Chains A and B, each alone.
Chain A
Amino acid sequence: MKYPDISREDTICALATPPGTGAIAVIRLSGIDSHAIINRLFKPMKAKDLNEVGSHRAVYGQILDKEQLIDDVLLTIFRAPHSYTGEDAIEIGCHGSIFIQQKIIELLLNAGARLAEPGEFTMRAFANKRFDLAQAEAVADLIASRSEAAHHLAINQMRGGFSKRIMELRQQLIDFTALIELELDFSEEDVEFADRNRFLQLLNDLKVEISQLIESFKTGNAIKTGIPVAIIGKPNVGKSTLLNAILNEEKAIVSEIPGTTRDTIEDTIILEGYSFRFIDTAGLRKSEDLVENLGIERAYEKIKQAAVILYVCDLASCTLESAEEMLEEFRNFLKDKDKRFILIGNKADLLAETPAHFKEMVELETIFISAKRKENINLITQSLIKVAQELQQDQDTIVSNARHYQALQKAFEALVSVEKGFEADLPTDLAAIDLRSAIHHLGSITGQISNEEVLGSIFSKFCIGK
């Protein structure tokens, strides 16, 4: 029996190693566009054309997000039919941080790949006759057990109101679809059709609901993988010392020479059940050192990713002028309502007199510490725990699954098209095409909505039947 050509349609990717932090991780990419996709984000160390690399060869290089270095990786190139799936495939060996894994997958998705369904690599392998039946049967059992486990996992992942919110979302979608279909299939009936404003209102409700879920991915991810905390400040204010004090171990390289910390260092600690991912950064200053500049650039990138920012200043060497400048910068940061900023006055032990702008710093709830002597570090950890508690309260509904995240984003885009259609006064049956696409994407989270349900909603609410 001939198997269909389903394998040729698109390119899939997924993490091949177990989820979580390890020394290294492997991300697998398979499909006709594998090489084209990897070329969009990979830069080989030795300028080599990837297309000329033979099958089963490793290539060392960097994964870049635009110009931004994400990780040094080792690619293993496979050419059809000599791969696990029988298609062109690439295995990306990267460092094992969860952030790096997710970032690379995100970049692959943006470059045109899609997340693999459970067992899809194996399905393709079978489709391309890489397996005989006995092998396939063994894998099939595995897939079934895996998807069952995945099912449990998904249910366990649903925290707080997630399940309820998803049910509400589904119901809203059915109601909205029912109103649209009512107008199409039952235009001859004596029922009152919703006006455009009602449609736009419902559509907006749906969009708000979905965008909240999308936003919650950040928090969901944060809670799952640690709330990202960035420590920033001018060079040599003691950021690394502070990190060490918090971590209580010598992870960051601490030195007296400004610019020692050229790279960001991450470590995770658990405080009262909340996981925090610390990002130490290179000092924020202009430098002639190219490598250091790269580090600084990355530090700004880290600030973007962080949920909490510890802004460290050196009280001892703070002049009136630099304090003014520093407070100005800090106030600017505070405008970003998505993040929490905590001002830390370090080296309080070296202080001979009241620091410049002491009063203003107190008003900004500055925590005065000595990182070196580990004084008042507990005030910082208490603030962090408070932030975590607030974060969790804000979001009782949390999307923490990348597949759900992707589905929600696609659904959101489709709903934007529906909205545009309404605004352009397109016939509703055309808007319904985009609506169906939204339903399709949400279906992978909420469970498929069948047209029976839509009709059921119509028949229960409207008196149909002449």
Chain B
Amino acid sequence: MLFKKYDVIVVGAGHAGSEAAAAAANMGSKVLLVTMNLQTIAQMSCNPAMGGIAKGQIVREIDALGGYSGLVTDRTMIQFRMLNKSKGPAMWSPRAQSDRMLFSMEWRRMLEQTPNLDFWQDMVVGLIVKDNHIQGVKTSMGQVIEGQNVILTNGTFLNGKIHIGEKSFGGGRMGDRSSEGLTEQLIKLGFRADRMKTGTPVRVDGRTIDFSRLTEQKGDEVVTGFSYLEKVNLPKQRSCYIAYTSPRVHDMLKTGFQFSPMFNGRIEGVGPRYCPSIEDKVVRFSDKDSHQLFVEPEGWNTIEYYINGFSSSLPEDVQFKALREIEGFENAKIFRPGYAIEYDFFPPDQLQHSLETKLVKGLFFAGQINGTTGYEEAAGQGIIAGINAHSKTVGKEPLILKRSEAYIGVLIDDLITKGVDEPYRMFTSRAEYRILLRQDNADARLTERSFKIGLAKAERFNRFKQKQESISALIDFMDKTSVTPDQINGFLEKSGTSLLTQKIKLSSVLLRPQVELQQLIKSNRSLFDDVINKFNLKHDEIEAAEVLVKYKGYIDKEKELADKLMRLEHVKLKSDFDYHQLKSLSYEAREKLNLIKPETLGQASRISGVSPSDISVLAIYLGR
């Protein structure tokens, strides 16, 4: 036989599939990664960037759990920025431009070095299901591969259909075939499927762009990166550029509207409101004369540029002519036009929090198949699906992250509880406990848990423990050490805050909004020398200590609130309960509860249409 029996078969090697395969294999499962094209592992199909607001936090969480996305990004980035640095620490969000080709290569290298992981290039065309249990997969080459668990991460490939102007053709991504057969089988098994749409912009030959007419956007001087394991080595960075559309560009775009699959109804799928095509922006915000575009380099050694914000499914000649109306792009040549893609997804209320489907045991979904968008969102689901497929193999409890614990927890709970109306992207405003879910403390939130379930390795755990010790030592030092007016007033004056009249604790000085710890240390270096040298304090440790001291009041407030609301999360609900029995519930609540089958009372309380009095009634009935 060509194949042994696998513990976990991962279908698809995008960001979700790759993380899933890595996690399950690192935990000890025998894993097979099946992909239609081994040359495009963890391909960045859209813009060549990782992170950003809320998304950067997810990448940090994946890293804290022992995933690869952070490491791969750190090793392949060509530019780094910490976004929102002028805001509070909950908003600081790392973002990197990556070298698109290196990114994919580094992923493949890392996966190849992962034990227990096999590869197979083929298309999965069917699932083997017996008595609602998954048994394995069938491929287009006629292979039957047995597996105890299967994770589907098909991205935009399921019945993928590409639109450019009046042309449309099957495909999972420009240049790749779509995947057929799976949706139909899943519907037969009882799953609900629907269509979504997303798009991507034109790619331009950098030699034909007049960069002198664009605004340059450089990377940060301090590059902190994504991984808690390694330091980023980035002596040189590449810049992005900002360009603007004009009424002339808009007029040119309008000449193609009659051919637009968006406007003539040929696209049925729902697109994301926060990532509209340029034609959509021109129509919906017709009072705006100009829209901002980000011109992003695709790598160190390529002249290809990605025109972020110019996503379009207009005919390629219209895209081209409109592009040339943009200042700086008068002579531009294009490599490939933008296009829209429609694909099947499965409304994610059909999943449990472990990402296992409710209908078929051992079958997991992760990534765009669940109606999400974004590499980070996909990878975050992937690692959880990988962990939980392994847990299932060895008969352990699934890992379910709470909303107060991780953006990944918010993401999965939202998907399962609320379903999706449009491609789901993470925003910090989706998290109730934003100040707890910071990019600086993802390790404190997740690494120990991951170590205990066997994913995070000892090296990561020890590094984490040592970091926590350093942070506590510094906080302890600042709580115990006082400064006199003489020692500090010079610094306070420079910082623009009021002077001291008597001595106070260092931690109290730090509470002032104008005082930054790094600056404070610089101003009184000898005072801090002992603790810095003894614990060999690093940049990220000092920053973490500063956040914990400065924002303690807010952090404690949210923690308290989270603990309070947590109580409802501990009340488990039965998955086979028929809520129509409870006549005291409102009709809408009964319908919704029967559809979603929430796992806990807390989850039930977040379902729209379930009122607080419904929750009271439910609580009363819970005794059985």
Contacts and interface: CB of A to CB of B under 8 A. Distances in A.
Interface of A: 1, 3-6, 9, 117-120, 122-123, 126-127, 133, 136-137, 139-141, 143-144, 147, 181, 183-190, 424-430, 432-433, 436, 450-452, 454-456, 459, 463-466
B52 A433 contact: no
Interface stretch (B70-78, B80-88, B96-104, B187-195): B80-88
B265 interface: no
Interface in B425-472: 427-430, 432, 434-435
Given A1-B622, A184-B87, A185-B54, A425 B554 contact: no
A342 B341 CA distance: 77
Contacts of A183: 87
B293 interface: yes
B623 A143 contact: no
A1 B616 contact: no
B88 A455 contact: no
Contact of B308 (A181, A436, A463, A466): A466
Contacts of A4: 567-568, 570-571, 601
Nearest to A443: B612
Given A465-B275, A466-B309, A122 B513 contact: no
Contacts of A432: 434
B584 interface: yes
B567 A143 contact: no
Contacts of B513: 424-426
Contact of B83 (A1, A9, A187, A428): A187
A270 B223 CA distance: 76
B554 A433 contact: yes
Interface in B291-311: 291-294, 308-309, 311
A413 B285 CA distance: 37
A9 B564 contact: yes
Contacts of A430: 88, 435, 551, 554
21 contacts: A1-B572, A117-B612, A123-B616, A123-B619, A126-B619, A141-B583, A144-B617, A184-B84, A184-B429, A185-B427, A187-B84, A190-B291, A190-B292, A426-B88, A433-B558, A455-B274, A463-B284, A465-B272, A465-B281, A465-B309, A466-B309
A303 to B, nearest CB: 40
B87 A428 contact: yes
A277 B598 CA distance: 51
A115 to B, nearest CB: 13
The 4 closest A-B CB pairs, nearest first, are A190-B292, A427-B88, A144-B584, A466-B309
B85 to A, nearest CB: 10
Contacts of B273: 456, 459, 464-465
B240 to A, nearest CB: 11
A181 to B, nearest CB: 4
A390 to B, nearest CB: 38
A72 B597 CA distance: 52
A452 B272 CA distance: 13
A425 B513 CA distance: 8
A455 B429 contact: yes
A213 B275 CA distance: 40
Interface of B: 52-54, 83-84, 86-88, 90-91, 272-276, 281, 284-285, 288, 291-294, 308-309, 311, 418, 427-430, 432, 434-435, 513, 551, 554, 557-558, 564, 567-568, 570-572, 582-585, 601, 608, 612-613, 616-617, 619-624
Contacts of B276: 463-465
A455 B554 CA distance: 24
Nearest to B273: A459
Contacts of B88: 426-430
Contact of A144 (B429, B568, B613): B613
A111 B294 CA distance: 57
A429 B434 CA distance: 8
B52 A188 contact: yes
A450 B421 CA distance: 14
B435 A433 contact: yes
B568 A6 contact: yes
Nearest to A142: B584
B87 A118 contact: no
A110 B43 CA distance: 60
Contacts of A141: 583-584
A429 B435 contact: yes
A66 B583 CA distance: 47
A119 B624 contact: no
Contacts of A433: 434-435, 554, 557-558
A127 B554 CA distance: 32
A189 B285 CA distance: 14
